[in-house]
Amino acid sequence: MEINKLYSLPKLPYAFDALKPYISEEQLKLHYQKHHQAYVNGANAVLEKLDKARKDNTDLDMKATLKELSFHIGGYRLHNRFWENLAPAGKGGGGTPKGELAKAIDAEFGKFDRFKKEFSQTASSVEGSGWAVLTFCEKTQRPLILQLEKHNVNIIPGFAILMVLDVWEHAYYLDYKNDRAKFIESFWNIVNWDMVSNRFDLLKK
């Protein structure tokens, strides 16, 4: 099998208008075609810059270059996960987690509503651009919430990313203007809990 040594935009698992009314067609298109694509392009540009410098045996500003690489690959991967953990409302989207994930969330947070509140507060309090992330520590077997700034700050290396919510303004501004809280509330109607639960089950194996 030939390995593609550059990144490419993954296919969306639903139509552009499938997440209405919580995310409009225009908002989803812009987010996916322009913003997600920009991280793909950004990551590839850095990889090509690295390739070229090695080929020409020239020096790079490693600090700046690798910071840029982390930012763009972080953005690329988080968006992949974001599209996957969404589904049309009532057709796979919304409701509450089931199975082992539901048990783990109850054990950690007491009940689902407490998790939902903490996750929403995490998303609403991101300073500037960033993400709320549900993650899992295999060592302690605890589901944990992270608040990522940009795409790559506050990451805990090795922690699996189960579910993400993008709260960059580009994720919601067309639909919600500056009302991030309303976008966060809408998010719960389109969470693909089956996908998040499957990911959790794979980790627990």
With 0-12 CB in 10 A as exposed, 13-18 as middle and 19+ as buried, what is 192?
buried
Q: Which residue has the tokens 């552009």?
A: 16
Distance in angstroms (rounded) separating the CA atoms of residues 134 and 125:
15
Number of residues in contact with Mn ion under rule CB under 5 A: 4
Q: Which is nearer to Mn ion, 168 or 183 (CB)?
A: 168
Q: Which stretch binds Mn ion (CB under 5 A): 7-15, 51-59, 131-139, 162-170?
A: 162-170
Distance in angstroms (rounded) separating the CA atoms of residues 31 and 169:
10
Does 136 engage in binding with Mn ion (CB under 5 A)?
no
Q: Which is nearer to Mn ion, 33 or 121 (CB)?
A: 33
Which residue, among 174, 175, 168, 188, has the nearest Cα to 120 in the 3D structure? 188
Does 175 engage in binding with Mn ion (CB under 5 A)?
no
Least CB distance from residue 131 to Mn ion, whole Å? 8
Q: Which is nearer to Mn ion, 183 or 193 (CB)?
A: 183
Least CB distance from residue 113 to Mn ion, whole Å? 27
Distance in angstroms (rounded) separating the CA atoms of residues 109 and 31:
32
With 0-12 CB in 10 A as exposed, 13-18 as middle and 19+ as buried, what is 184?
buried
Which alpha helices (H) appear in 30-172, and where do they start and end?
37-56, 62-84, 99-109, 112-124
Does 166 engage in binding with Mn ion (CB under 5 A)?
yes
**Residues in region 34-93 near Mn ion by CB under 5 A:** 35
Q: From residue 2 to residue 41, what is the string marking binding to Mn ion with x (rule CB under 5 A)?
A: ---------------------------------x------
Q: Which of 16, 39, 76, 168 binds Mn ion (CB under 5 A)?
A: 168
Binding site for Mn ion (CB under 5 A): 35, 166, 168, 171
